[in-house]
Chain A
Amino acid sequence: MLDLDPFHFFRLTVGWVATIYATVVLVQTLWGWVVYLSGGDRYMTVVRRYLVLHALRLRFKSFWGDVLVCVLLCWVFVLIWMAHNAIEG
């Protein structure tokens, strides 16, 4: 008899589906940008340089609060994962 835990089943299914979906969308988006920006004409070179310029102008101080929260949440997530493994022995 298959011992299927509904909660674990839901959790793992959502985790896998969401991860695969997010990965596919992210790779597609990045690939689209790479193809768009790898054009060899003069205007695309200007666009590339302009994007680099905007990236250099970006100030970390504007978003440091959100970035800190994200790092802390990742850390909490890892801690919970480790606690989970510890409980299961």
Chain B
Amino acid sequence: MKMLPPAEGGGLPVVASPSAPVIVSSGSAPRQLADLPKDELDTLAEEYGLEPRRFKTPQELVAAIHGRRQLIASLDRAALVDVVRWGRRPVPVNATQEQLAFEILRIKSMRFDGLSERGLIALARLRGLETGPEDAVPVIVKRLKKTEGFWAKVNRKRRAVLGSIVSGLVGESESSKEYQFLPPQEQQGHGGGAGGAHVPPRDRSIKEEIEESGLFGGIAARVKKTADQYINQKLDDIESRIDRKLDEIDRRLAEWRDKEIANRLRILKITLWASVIVATCSLIYTYLKVHFGK
């Protein structure tokens, strides 16, 4: 485990750039956490994947949150990205390590197909297991499945069955699209984006959504996603139509400009021809008058 740097002035955790592992300066963090009201502390603990009811005193909860922060800081960022890709969670490409961890903690899936070994180890550690690279993958999977409570497992299975039924009714095939990050977020304070509104993942199948969020939650998320897609598609259509119209207007104006200039030049040319003809006639007339008019 990485050792944390000594506490410096300020006290707010320092978040490093997304590409580098995030080191959280947590020297004064427990003191700050202890100052939080209980409900905020509970919410924070839930974000970190802890169950506040399991801790009898606020001091224990603060210590657990502090430990969880240290754990997240010690995890490999690439492993966290692997888990996010596997879980198809919507995160920006420059998400901090804590944001990645928060998204991973929302993943309830127990199907570990497609998850890399380092990702599996990171997931297991975030789910409270003491694992390392020396543990074999089947062993880690078995231990992960053991951590799931009986009723949680029953509920998950029930949701999976419901999801299969709904998926069969809807006739949706398994989504196999490539995972895409959200657009990069602007730099903000520690954990600023992680506690914000939870955006439903875009590429999961309805079966997986129902398995994770329940029947109504999954269907609602799917309806919302479909409505969003429809609106976005319509907005794109309108935008492209406006662009086409603007291009057409621009092209017609350019044509009108060229025609107008050509027309003006033609009028000028005719005027000049008339002037030259009249001047020539005048010249001939003057010549005749000067030489033969006397």
Per DSSP, chain A at the interface is helix
Which of chain A's residues have a CB closer than 8 A to the CB of B290? 87-89
Is B272 an interface position by the 8 A CB rule?
A: yes
Least distance between B111 CB and chain A CB atoms (Å): 56
Query: A7–B282 contact, CB under 8 A?
Result: yes
Question: Contacts A84-B282, A84-B283 known; A58 to B261 CB distance under 8 Å?
Answer: yes
Contact residue range for chain B?
20 to 34
Q: Which of B257, B265, B283, B289 makes the CB contact (< 8 A) with A80? A: B283
Query: A63–B257 contact, CB under 8 A?
Result: no
Least distance between A52 CB and chain B CB atoms (Å): 13
Is A25 an interface position by the 8 A CB rule?
A: no
Least distance between B121 CB and chain A CB atoms (Å): 58
Is B31 an interface position by the 8 A CB rule?
A: no
Question: Contacts A54-B254, A88-B290 known; A76 to B283 CB distance under 8 Å?
Answer: no
**A52-89 CB contacts (< 8 Å) to partner B:** 54, 57-58, 62-63, 66-67, 69-70, 73-74, 76-77, 80-81, 83-84, 87-89
Query: B266–A66 contact, CB under 8 A?
Result: yes
B interface with A by C-beta (< 8 Å):
253-254, 257-258, 261-262, 265-266, 268-269, 272-273, 275-276, 278-280, 282-283, 285-287, 289-290
Q: Which 6 A-B pairs have the closest CB atoms?
A: A73-B272, A66-B265, A80-B279, A84-B283, A87-B286, A77-B276
User: What 12 additional pairs, Cβ within 8 angstroms, besides A66-B265, A70-B268?
Assistant: A5-B289, A54-B257, A58-B257, A58-B261, A62-B262, A63-B261, A63-B265, A67-B265, A73-B269, A80-B280, A88-B290, A89-B290
